[in-house]
Structure formats: structure tokens, C-alpha cells
Amino acid sequence: MTYRGVVLDVDGTVVRGDEPIPGAAEGLDRLAAAGCRRLFVSNNPTKRPPAYAERLGRAGFDVDADEIVTAGTVTTTYLTDRHADDALFVVGEPALVEQLTDAGLTVVDEASRAETVVLSIDRSFDYDRLCAALRACEDDDVPLVGTDPDMLIPAAGGDLPGSGAIINAVAGVVGREPDVVLGKPSEPALRIVRDSLGVSPSSCLVVGDRLDTDIALGERAGMTTALVRTGVSDDDDIAESDVSPDYVLDSLADVDRILG
């Protein structure tokens, strides 16, 4: 099989924190030598593509901002398309709020004004913020939008809670599930990936460390999938999951097993 494109996860696949994962550089070199057009797709909603490019640069990888799609990208696009005129109440990091307001969307601090609620990772999340989110969702007609489903984030010092933890906390007290959770493997994310990469799914490879996001995205799209063991998912997860990767690699360095 000749692959013309590759969708690459970032955290747990290429880097952990700001440190390169062993074997990632070799794997990227092999993909480049094979002529694969690449797209880095991250479920991190807090960093814009240029900031992600700088972060990857600090880890030793030369990546252009136009090669990067994030959950913030997907969320901003989705809200612009579906909720452009709504007052958004956001449980999330300031960097996410900046992305939304820079796109011309309206973010409000008062829970009573909420017309759509956006839920995401928020490292200052506390009981008061949970109470405010509950008040913002008192009207059952107010849509709940999650930026991404990641429960954990691979970090240099160990895994950390992600957006999924905040989304579940708010959904639990509100008593209903989000109307949509964006990022991988959602359909809005998949559309952006297709448009950005410009490669037919049958000639595209997806490499990532998560079964429920990276591999599920590739499976949904009809792409070849490869799970790396350098991040969140392990062999026990593979055995228990309904999502099955086409390949399992110790690290990105082993991608030549697929490329031939």
C-alpha cells in the first residue's frame, strides 16, 4: 500500500509535555521520505496552531502552523457555523476564550445570559465555577458543547485530567449529556481533517496513542490506523476496546513496518 497522507496525533505520539518521544523524529523522517503529506491533529483546545508549531519546535520538530489542527480550531469553526449569534458561557482556559472572541464570537461571564455553554479543560475549575455552569444550564434548551472528549493528557510528569473530566463533572450535575463533543473523533473534526489534508481516506494513515479518539477517527474515515504504545492506551485497552487498530507499534519509529 502506498500512503499519500498521514494524520498524526501530538501528545503521547510525538511529544510528552515539551519533550520529544524517543523514536518520533525517526518516524517523521521515514514518513517524509515516503512522500506522505502530514497533518498534526491535537485534541488540545487551548493552543492555536502557531503556538503548537512553536511547542513542537522547542522539542526539535520543524512543523508549520498550517500543518496543525486543534480542538480549538474545530470548536471555533463549529460555533461560528452553528452558534455565531449566541452568547457563549465558557468553562475553559483563557486561551480558548481568546480563540472564540478573536473569531468574532460573543463570550459572556454571566451565567444567566448563556445561550450556549462551552465546556473544556480548565485548570482553575472549582466548586464556584461548577455552580455557575449549573446555573447557565438551567434552561434545557441551552446547548452544551464540549471541545474534546480526552479524559487524560499525557504530560512529562504523568497523565493529567483533560477536558473530558470537566465535561463529565458539569454533565453530571446538569443531568444531561452534551449535545456534541468536538475534537477527535467527531464528524466536524473529520471534515476539517479531510479538507486540510486533501488526500483520499484510502491512501491515508492515522497514527496516535488513543483508541477512542485517534484510532476511532481513522476507523470512521476509512483510513489505515496505527496505535503507538508511547501514550495513553496499552495492550489491556486494546483487548477490551471495540475499536481495533490495523497496526500496533512500540513507537512512531516503527512506522516503516507499515510503509514497507
pLDDT at residue 17, rounded to an integer = 84
pLDDT at residue 235, rounded to an integer = 87
Closest CA to 46 of 124, 109, 156: 124
Task: For residue range 187-207, list pLDDT tens digits in order.
Answer: 999 999 999 999 999 999 999
Helix axes 187-197, 71-82, angle to 10 degrees: 110
Q: Which of 73-82, 231-240, 247-256 has the lowest mean pLDDT?
A: 231-240
Instruction: For residue 29, give every residue at least 6 positions away whose Cβ sits within 8 Å of its Cβ, in sequence order, or none.
Output: none
What percent of the chain is modeled with pLDDT above 70? 100
**Cα–Cα distance between 201 and 222 in angstroms, integer?**
6
Instruction: For residue 49, give every residue at least 6 positions away whose Cβ sits within 8 Å of its Cβ, in sequence order, or none.
Output: 65, 66, 68, 69, 70, 73
**Cα–Cα distance between 194 and 201 in angstroms, integer?**
8
Task: For residue range 35-71, list pLDDT tens digits in order.
Answer: 999 999 999 999 899 999 999 999 999 999 999 999 9
**Cα–Cα distance between 181 and 146 in angstroms, integer?**
4
| Catalytic residue set | 9, 11
Q: Please tell me the chain's helix, strand, coil percentages from 3-state DSSP, rounded to the nearest 5.
A: 40, 20, 40
Q: Indicate if the pLDDT at residue 159 is higher than 90.
A: no
Contact 248, 229 (CB under 8 A): yes
pLDDT at residue 18, rounded to an integer = 86
- How much is the average pLDDT of 26-32? 96
Q: Sorting pLDDT into bands at 50, 70 and 90, what band is 157?
A: confident
pTM of the predicted protein model:
0.93
193 class by beta-carbon count within 10 Å (0-12 exposed, 13-18 middle, 19+ buried): buried
Mean pLDDT score of the chain, rounded to an integer?
Answer: 95
- How much is the average pLDDT of 7-27? 94
Question: What's the Cα-to-Cα distance from 256 to each of 19, 113, 197, 230, rounded to whole Å?
Answer: 23, 53, 21, 17
Q: Sorting pLDDT into bands at 50, 70 and 90, what band is 155?
A: confident
pLDDT at residue 222, rounded to an integer = 96
Instruction: For residue 54, give every residue at least 6 positions away whose Cβ sits within 8 Å of its Cβ, in sequence order, or none.
Output: none
| Helix (H) or strand (E) run with residue 54 in it | helix 49-58
Task: For residue range 218-244, list pLDDT tens digits in order.
Answer: 999 999 999 999 988 888 988 899 999
- How much is the average pLDDT of 142-168? 91
In degrees, to the nearest 5, what angle opens at C-alpha 255 toward C-alphas 219 and 250?
90
- My answer on whether omega of the bond before 94 falls inside 30° of 0, hence cis, is no
Q: Indicate if the pLDDT at residue 156 is higher than 80.
A: no
